[in-house]
Amino acid sequence: MPLRLVDDDLDLSLDIAMSWSSREALGIQLERCLSTGTNAPFESRLITSLASILDDDLQPPTQSQVSYALSIAKALAISLPGEALKYKGTMKQFLSRYAPVFREHRWKYSTSAQVQQS
């Protein structure tokens, strides 16, 4: 019998084939969580593990991507989609679309400022 991963909020479930020994070890781990009254350490490790196996486009963007995107949005007076702050794939789409425009904007602004100083 496979392990079933269920998300009631999303109404999704996934059957995961596991060896009997792995399922048995997981059962022991879950019993430990119940007997100690805390599952925080196990929960933290599980969340970290699950997040690390998501496809690359579903990983969170890096802090430097977020900073650069915020600079672009401010300079170009455009909104940064919330999805871009959550997912690396959406962030890459935003950056590939607006980074060239931003660079052109900065170049024009710096050239204009140099002309005014002359």
pLDDT at position 110? 73
Asked if residue 3 lies in contact with residue 15, where contact means CB atoms within 8 angstroms, the answer is: yes
Domain holding 38, by residue range, is: 3-53
Query: Do 48 and 81 sit in the same domain of this protein?
Result: no
Q: Considering only residues 38 and 82, tell me which one the structure prediction assigns the higher pLDDT.
A: 82
Q: What pTM was computed for the model? A: 0.71
pLDDT at position 75? 95
Query: Do 91 and 49 sit in the same domain of this protein?
Result: no
DSSP 94: H
Query: Do 72 and 37 sit in the same domain of this protein?
Result: no
pLDDT at position 1? 81
What are the distances in angstroms from CA 22 to CA 26, 35, 69, 97, 112? 6, 20, 43, 45, 66
Tens digit of each residue's pLDDT (9 = 90 or more) over 66-87 = 999 999 999 999 999 999 999 9
Query: Do 13 and 46 sit in the same domain of this protein?
Result: yes
Q: Output the six-digit token pair for 85.
A: 């702050």
Tens digit of each residue's pLDDT (9 = 90 or more) over 44-67 = 999 999 999 999 999 999 999 999
Collect all residues with Cβ–Cβ distance below 8 Å to 4 and sequence separation of at least 6. 13, 14, 15, 16
Query: Do 75 and 106 sit in the same domain of this protein?
Result: yes
